[in-house]
Amino acid sequence: MIRREFHLAGLAGLFLLATSHVQAGLAEAIVKLKPSVVLIGTFKATDSPRFQLRGTGFIVGNGQLVVTNSHVLPAPAGGDAPALVVQVRQASGEWQMRPAVMLETNPAVDLALLRMEGAPGTAARLGDSNSVREGDDLAFMGFPIGGVLGFSPVTHRATVSSITPAALPSPSAGRLSEMAIRGLRNGTFNIFQLDATAYPGNSGGPLFHPETGEVLGVLNMVLIKGTRESALSQPSGISYAIPGVHVREMLDRHR
């Protein structure tokens, strides 16, 4: 009996050590990735507020390129339209606003590549999204609920519940209804279905490995039940992300 109790206590100790290791790994990964996560929005001096947050993005490549969702970007407009901008967090903790231009948009996979002005930022490392398996525990970072919680990156855990062929129902779909989800099964590329609660402001944020901080995908959709407002009061706990292989393909076209 004494030996059995000692054995069980030893197993409990190993479990606690493993859990603390995973938590420490995520904390370190957040520190690495946080400087790469940026605000995507528009700016116009006569608007109130002058800066309008549209979603999340992250720095890649040479430090001046930014990845986000296609649906995050404003519709093309001329004349006195607000300017597309990226806000980068400085070492002091303050946000610096920079003009940005769109280099490429790919509505088929809901991705866009921007180039921001100014000094290079901290580029995120891209991992191998083909190595992601169903059941993997990942994490994602962004600005949920449109910045209501403040312009500070928020991290959530996510389990890959399914890797399934999918097609986006429309280029502007940042959210999915329960009816629209039926159309996802007939697509031509794989998408990560996540057991995680995300919000519209998370669109364009990085899905990353919780120990290495390597980016494996881009958050792009949240399944909602009913109206848009119910995404806040009754979140479905189901979100989707575009695999990072499509980010690599886009970057290769702009080397």
What separation, in Å, do the N-terminal and C-terminal C-alpha atoms of the chain show? 66
Is the CB of residue 200 less than 8 Å from the CB of residue 146? Answer: yes
- Can 37-116 and 129-252 be said to share one CATH topology? yes
Which one, of 155, 152, 123, 124, lies nearest residue 138 by Cα? Answer: 155
Structural domain boundaries of the chain? Answer: 37-116, 129-252
* Helix (DSSP H) and strand (DSSP E) numbers for the chain: 3, 13
pLDDT (tens digit per residue) in 180-210: 455 455 457 899 999 988 887 899 999 999 9
**3-state SS class at 24:** helix
**3-state SS class at 84:** strand
Q: What is the pLDDT of residue 221?
A: 75
The radius of gyration computed from the CA coordinates of the chain, to the nearest angstrom, equals: 19
pLDDT (tens digit per residue) in 69-112: 999 998 887 778 899 999 999 988 899 999 999 999 998 899 99
Give the residue with greater pLDDT, 36 vs 47: 36
Rounded to whole angstroms, the maximal C-alpha distance in the chain is: 81
Q: What is the pLDDT of residue 77?
A: 75
Q: Name the fold adopted by 129-252.
A: Thrombin, subunit H (2.40.10)
Give the residue with greater pLDDT, 44 vs 182: 44
Compute CA distances 122 → 64, 125, 150, 211, whole Å: 9, 10, 21, 18
pTM of the model: 0.81
Compute CA distances 85 → 41, 97, 101, 111, 243, whole Å: 6, 7, 8, 17, 25
Is the CB of residue 36 less than 8 Å from the CB of residue 62? Answer: no
CATH of 37-116, one of 3.40.50.1980, 2.40.30.10, 2.40.10.10, 2.60.40.1180: 2.40.10.10
- Cα 151 to Cα 238: distance, rounded to the nearest angstrom: 24
